[in-house]
Chains A and B, each alone.
Chain A
Amino acid sequence: DAKTTQPNSMESNEEEPVHLPCNHSTISGTDYIHWYRQLPSQGPEYVIHGLTSNVNNRMASLAIAEDRKSSTLILHRATLRDAAVYYCTPGSGGSNYKLTFGKGTLLTVNP
């Protein structure tokens, strides 16, 4: 399984952009990169996923390095509601595929 490395914690100010990095240097060519977040007292919530191209949705943008060894989740304007643990995880597919979580990054948003 591909291993991911994320900073333990990051801090941001409200209404500023946030760039959350993830290193996944052992990812295989067919693995998708998924991001989930977990708000306090909630279950994880899907944020975004991508394979090679950069991806945008209403929640965030995902920038994937050309060599696919790293990616960055971008929150364009952080709000207090974005304070959460953000998990980056590779998705390989197959009958034995299981979504697993690393330690994630705890994002604090200051007012």
Chain B
Amino acid sequence: DTEVTQTPKHLVMGMTNKKSLKCEQHMGHRAMYWYKQKAKKPPELMFVYSYEKLSINESVPSRFSPECPNSSLLNLHLHALQPEDSALYLCASSQVQGAANEKLFFGSGTQLSVL
């Protein structure tokens, strides 16, 4: 199984809502990532978890709150988002974080619209 599964595939939320994005992998990978991708732009890294600990936070606003409850799961909690946060949110995993020849496996993403 080389899949990274993201749910939901689409999400519409208001600016006062609280929602969560979920990501799951069963490849035994110990590094997991959140990327954000605006339309017609490359993905931008948001967070990296290594062995369930937050390793990199790319100065992401606090309205995005990541969580890694175990080595297979990664969540992104959303609260008080702005319309400009509308984007495709991609989850990825790799065996470990920090190896120069590491391969990342990406999910298909959650398309988020903030109204």
Contacts and interface: CB of A to CB of B under 8 A. Distances in A.
B97 A43 contact: no
A100 B100 CA distance: 12
A46 B98 contact: no
Given A51-B101, A97-B100, A43 B106 contact: yes
A95 B55 contact: yes
A101 B99 CA distance: 17
Given A31-B100, A51-B101, A92-B100, A99 B42 contact: no
B19 to A, nearest CB: 20
A56 to B, nearest CB: 16
A103 B43 CA distance: 9
A93 B43 contact: no
A91 B42 contact: no
Interface size class of A (residues with CB under 8 A): 20 to 34
B81 interface: no
A100 B42 CA distance: 9
Chain B binding site: helix, strand, loop or mixed by DSSP?
A: loop
B103 A49 contact: yes
A21 interface: no
A30 interface: yes
- Of A51, A85, A100, chain B has the most CB atoms within 10 Å of the CB of A100
Interface in A74-111: 85, 87, 91-104
Nearest to A106: B40
B54 interface: no
Interface string B6-39: 0000000000000000000000000001000000
Nearest to A91: B100
A91 B102 contact: yes
Top-5 shortest CB links A-B: A93-B100, A43-B106, A101-B42, A91-B100, A46-B103
Given A36-B104, A51-B101, A91-B100, 9 more contacts: A31-B100, A38-B43, A41-B108, A44-B106, A46-B104, A95-B97, A98-B45, A103-B42, A104-B42
